[in-house]
Amino acid sequence: MASTHFPKDGDITRKWHIVDASGQTLGRLASRVARILAGKESVQYTPFIDTGDHVIVINAAQIKVTGEKADKKIYYHVTGYPGGIRAEEYKKRLARKPVAIVEDAIVGMLPHTKLGRAMAKKLKVYRDDKHQHQAQKPEKLAL
C-alpha cells in the first residue's frame, strides 16, 4: 500500500504572478487571487501546507464594485477602547488607501490561522502600476 505524498519545503516551487486590478470587480478579483495564494491552482495543493504562489496586484486605486456598494459599503474598525468603533465609507477609504481595500478583501478569503497569515505574506498590492519586483520575473495573469 502506497502512502500519500506530501510536498516538503524544498519540493515546492513558487511562481510570481502579476494581476492588473484596473476595471476589475473587487470580490471576483479577491476570490481568484486568494485561490492562487492558497495554492489551490497548483497540482501540489495540500490543505495544511502552504503551496501557493506569490501575487502582485497593481492599479489597486482603479478597482470597481458593483451595485450600490460604492455608496453604501462601510468599513468598521475597533480601536479596543470603550466606544472606540470607527466607521469609514468605501469612497473615502478608496481615496485614502485603496491598497487596504484590496488587501482586506483578499486576506479575508484566506484561512484565519497561522497558515492563512503565511499565505497573506505572499501578497503584494500597489496603488498604481509601479512595483519593485521586476527581479522575480512575474508572469502576467489574466483573470
List the Cα angle 5/123/91 in 5-degree steps.
140
Q: Which domains does the chain have, with CATH numbers?
A: 16-140 (3.90.1180.10)
Per-residue pLDDT of 11-39, as tens digits, reads 999 999 999 999 999 999 999 999 999 99
Tell me, what's the pLDDT at 90?
A: 97
Collect the ranges in the chain with pLDDT lower than 50. none
Neighbours of 136 (CB within 10 A): 15
Tell me, what's the pLDDT at 4?
A: 85
Tell me, what's the pLDDT at 143?
A: 82
Read off the pTM.
Answer: 0.93
What is the C-alpha separation between 20 and 15, in angstroms, rounded?
17
Location of C-alpha cell 503551496 = 51
Per-residue pLDDT of 41-52, as tens digits, reads 999 999 999 999
What is the C-alpha separation between 116 and 101, in angstroms, rounded?
18
What is the C-alpha separation between 143 and 136, in angstroms, rounded?
20
Location of C-alpha cell 488587501 = 103
